[in-house]
Every structure is written in C-alpha cells, then in structure tokens.
C-alpha cells in the first residue's frame, strides 16, 4: 500500500470535530477509495486544553498556525476555522508551499476565490470548497464532473436556508415578515443580526462561487445583483399565490454565448417549477446543461454533519488526485475571460403592483408606457382598494430587458396618476 497522506486541520469546532470523527471511523472505506491511509497530523486550535466532544491526542494540537502550515510532512490543509483576512493569509501561504487545500469557508471563497484559485493553479495545488455552497449537496463536484462532457448554461438556486424558512412560513401562515423573522431567530434559524441572510448577501456569495465554477469565469461578489426579502409583504405573497406562483429568494446565473449574468432576488416561480416546492430551511440548486438538460440537487444547506461529510468528500478527491498526479487541474482557475451582460441583454418576465388614482384614462396611460418600450402583458388584475380614490393594478409582463423594464418603472413613478409603485419582482418561467 502507498504511504499515508498527512492532513493538517485549521480549526476544531463542530465541523472540524466531525471531520476528525469521520476520518477515524471510516478509515477502511477511505483506504478502499484512495488506496492509502490518511492521518491527521496537526490541528490549529485557540485553546489546547479546552474540553471537546471528540477525543484527540493533545500532542496533535497547537495554537500556532505556522506549525500546521509549515509542516513539510503535511500534504493537505483542511480549513474549518472561518474568518476572512487571517484565514486568507494562511491558505495563500499553504498553497505557496504546495499544500492542497479543502475549505468550507464561503465568505472567503466569494471574496478571495479568484486569488486563491489562481495561487492554487500556479502552485499545481487543488483547492476544493464543496462545503461552502449548500453543505449537504454535492453540487460543486457534480458541476465539475458534468463540465467534462457538457456545457452548463443556467443555474438557479435556493442557497440560503434562513430566507427560505422565512418565506415558507410567510406563505403558509400568511404571517408578516417581522413576526416570522422573530420566530426564526427564536428557533435558531436566523441570527440575532440577520442582515447577511435577509438582504441576500449570503446567497450572493454562494451564487458567485457557483457561477465562477459552472461558467469557468472569474465572477466576483460585486458582479452579483442583489435584492433581499425584507420588503416582501403579505399582499405580494397573496397575489403571487392567486396567480399560481410561489415566492422564493432565487439566485440565478445565466450564460448566453460568452456573456454571463448573476443575480439574487425574490422571484415568482410557477408552482410547478421544481424549486417551488423546496420548503423550510432546505436548499436546492437547479442546473441546466446543454447535453443533460434539467437536473436539480436538493438537501440540507448547512449543519455540522453534512458540512463535515462534504469536507471529507473533498479530501478524498484531493487524495485521489495526488495519487493520480493530476492536482491543480480540476475545479481551479477559470479559463474564460469575464464578460457580463449589460442591462439591455438581461431578459425576464416581471411582476409589478401599482396603486393608481381611480380616474378615467389612468389604465390607458399606464399601458401606454409599457407599449412604448415594446413590453406586452401576460396577466393583468385591476382591483378597487379600500383607500378612497385609489385602485390597485397588478401586471405580469412578457419577457423584457432589465433596461426597458427599469425605464418603465421610472416613468411609472413619475406619472401623476400613479400614487405608488408598491412592489416589483422577477418572474421565472417553467424550466430553462
């Protein structure tokens, strides 16, 4: 049998402890898959003497990162400590010394993924990060494997469990956002400061990671258009239900030719869309490949065991590549130049809800604005409002460019008879 592969861990929290346990308990299966044993050689911790729920020989523990990163016998660094700037320095240093890296850190990968992947490629190292997106779903590996014989043109994801939990409850019980958020916080599904989740930033990080990999293009976090769920009202959910839609916070990455668009925004999906029934804290990623067609991966988005399992899967992949001599080739630096679509090249259907003064000719003035931009209607509802002298108009458009639609919104807001544009959402069709 080949000689053991030595691993160093940065961090020994719940995910790190899970990784250590899996490596111990599944040594036989790991040897079966890879052809050699794996040993944990050093672990960076904050406090060597802390009580832990995994038994580790204290001689493995250290509080000095360089003792792990600079150990010449360590082949693979597993990063499960979290954090950004300091962690980035550790991983760059590890890669520069030719060590392969497995990380579960989505914040780091979204912000510094391009730099880290380039460094990995320069040094012939693997840098795998399956656990950073939808912890329990092997989505990144599926993308990489699919890419060997397919071309991925679209990915749509429910990649944030907190917001999906909140929207599911709002839809199901007709409860307002603030009340559901408070409940989610009480249950531990949302953090005390929920802004990274509810404002869409967490989902945007994951979509940047997915788009970068799936399109092999250096998509950065700032390339992702982001809108969160904080403005969604019970009225919006009620209309979406009546029109046969389900509201979800959807990340979309779409490629036409060599140009890409990436966004995260509340989106109305037809009830029959595979993503519409993904409920509660679950995640799912829908992928369209030219050869395979539609596929979807569904599972837990987080949790320490799913995440640890994903980390070990990456470790197995690194070890296989080491033994194959093909490290630094798959899942590394993007091969295409980044080209983003302009607003005039991004197309979608839209839902808009407007309060107008209940005057003769009001409806005609509104429809004229859409017509001038060449945007036609798929569905229209007009209803009287309790507020005196006002009517509510709900429109679902046919496909329009983002530019045309945003121009329409601006002109509607400027219109004297329009009291308020209450809300506006992207609408997806079925499938690709």
Binding residues for NADP(+): 10-17
Q: Which stretch binds its own copies (CB under 8 A): 134-142, 338-346, 354-362, 421-429?
A: 134-142
Considering only residues 296, 390, 417, 421, which one is a binding residue for its own copies as defined by CB under 8 A? Answer: 296
Cβ of residue 7: shortest distance to its own copies, in angstroms? 14
State yes or no: residue 359 binds its own copies (CB under 8 A). Answer: no
User: Which one from 41, 154, 206, 349 is the annotated catalytic residue?
Assistant: 206
If one asks whether residue 133 binds its own copies (CB under 8 A), the answer comes out as: no
* 194 vs 251, beta carbon nearer its own copies: 251
* Residue 4 touches its own copies, criterion: CB under 8 A: no
Give the one residue of 274, 398, 423, 432 binding its own copies; rule: CB under 8 A.
274
Residue 295 in the binding site for its own copies (CB under 8 A): yes
Instruction: Please give the Cα distance from 121 to 254 (Å, whole number).
Output: 26
Q: Does 138 bind its own copies (CB under 8 A)?
A: yes
DSSP, collapsed to helix, strand or coil, labels residue 199 as coil
432 part of the interface to its own copies, by CB under 8 A? no
- For its own copies, the closer CB: 142 or 185: 142
Has 206 been annotated as catalytic? yes
DSSP 217-254: B---GGGSEE--STT--HHHHHHHHHTTEEEEEEEEEE
Q: Which helix (H) or strand (E) holds 213?
A: helix 201-215
Gap between the Cα atoms of 84 and 361, Å rounded: 57
> Cβ 430 to its own copies, closest distance in Å?
10
Please report whether residue 147 would count as binding its own copies according to CB under 8 A.
yes
> Which candidate, 105, 23, 100, places its Cα nearest to that of 60?
23
Count of residues near its own copies by CB under 8 A: 53
Closest C-alpha to 321, from 97, 101, 112, 165: 101
**Per CB under 8 A, does 279 bind its own copies?**
yes
The residue behind tokens 């992928």 is 287
Q: Does 276 bind its own copies (CB under 8 A)?
A: yes
Q: Does 27 interact with its own copies (rule: CB under 8 A)? A: no
In angstroms, how far apart are the furthest CA atoms of the chain? Answer: 85
Task: Report if residue 334 touches its own copies, rule: CB under 8 A.
Answer: no
285 by DSSP, 3-state: which? strand
308 touching its own copies, by CB under 8 A: yes
How many other CB atoms are there within 10 angstroms of residue 291's CB atom? 9
Say how many C-beta atoms besides its own lie within 10 A of residue 119's C-beta. 21
In angstroms, give the least distance from the CB of 295 to its own copies: 4
CB count within 10 Å of CB 179 equals 12
Binding residues: 10-17, 106, 191
Q: What DSSP string runs through 306-353?
A: HHHHHHHHHHHHHHHHHHHT-TTSSS-S--B---B--GGG-EEEEEEE
Residues near its own copies (CB under 8 A) are: 22, 26, 29-30, 32-35, 136-138, 141-142, 145-150, 272, 274, 276-279, 282, 284, 289, 291-300, 303, 305-306, 308-309, 312-313, 316, 320, 323-326, 329-330
Which residue numbers are catalytic? 206
């Amino acid at each position: 049998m080949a000689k053991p592969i030595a691993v160093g861990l940065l961090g020994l929290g719940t995910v790190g402890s899970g990784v250590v346990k899996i490596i111990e308990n599944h040594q036989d299966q790991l040897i079966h898959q890879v052809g050699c044993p794996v040993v944990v050689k050093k672990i960076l911790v904050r406090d060597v003497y802390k009580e832990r729920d995994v038994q580790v020989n204290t001689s493995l523990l250290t509080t000095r990162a360089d003792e792990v990163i600079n150990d010449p016998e360590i082949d693979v660094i597993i990063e499960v400590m979290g954090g950004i700037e300091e962690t980035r320095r550790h991983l760059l240093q590890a890669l520069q010394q030719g060590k392969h890296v497995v990380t579960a850190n989505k914040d780091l990968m979204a912000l510094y993924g391009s730099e880290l992947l380039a460094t990995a490629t320069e040094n012939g190292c693997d840098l795998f990060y399956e656990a950073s997106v939808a912890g329990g779903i092997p989505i990144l590996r599926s993308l990489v494997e699919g890419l060997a014989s397919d071309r991925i043109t679209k990915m749509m994801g429910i990649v944030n469990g907190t917001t999906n939990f909140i929207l599911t409850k709002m839809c199901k019980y007709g409860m307002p956002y603030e009340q559901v958020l408070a409940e989610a916080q009480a249950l531990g599904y949302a953090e005390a400061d929920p802004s990274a989740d509810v404002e869409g930033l967490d989902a945007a990080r994951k979509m940047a990671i997915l788009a970068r990999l799936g399109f092999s293009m250096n998509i950065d976090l700032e390339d992702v258009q982001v809108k969160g769920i904080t403005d969604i009202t019970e009225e919006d959910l009620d209309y979406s239900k009546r029109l046969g839609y389900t509201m979800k916070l959807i990340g979309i990455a779409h490629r036409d030719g060599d140009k890409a668009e990436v966004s995260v925004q509340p989106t109305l999906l037809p009830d029959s869309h595979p993503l519409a029934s993904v409920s509660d804290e679950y995640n799912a990623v829908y992928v369209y490949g030219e050869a395979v067609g539609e596929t979807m991966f569904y599972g837990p988005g987080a949790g320490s065991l799913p995440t640890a399992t994903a980390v070990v899967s990456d470790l197995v992949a690194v070890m296989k590549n080491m033994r194959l001599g093909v490290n630094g080739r798959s899942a590394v630096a993007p091969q295409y130049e980044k080209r983003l679509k302009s607003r005039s090249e991004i197309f979608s259907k839209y839902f808009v809800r407007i309060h107008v003064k209940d005057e003769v000719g009001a409806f005609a003035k509104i429809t004229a604005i859409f017509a001038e931009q060449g945007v036609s209607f798929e569905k229209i509802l007009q209803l009287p409002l309790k507020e005196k002298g006002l009517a509510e108009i709900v429109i679902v458009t046919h496909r329009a460019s983002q530019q045309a639609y945003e121009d329409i919104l601006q002109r509607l807001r400027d219109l004297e008879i329009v009291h308020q544009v209450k809300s506006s959402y992207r609408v997806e069709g079925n499938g690709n």
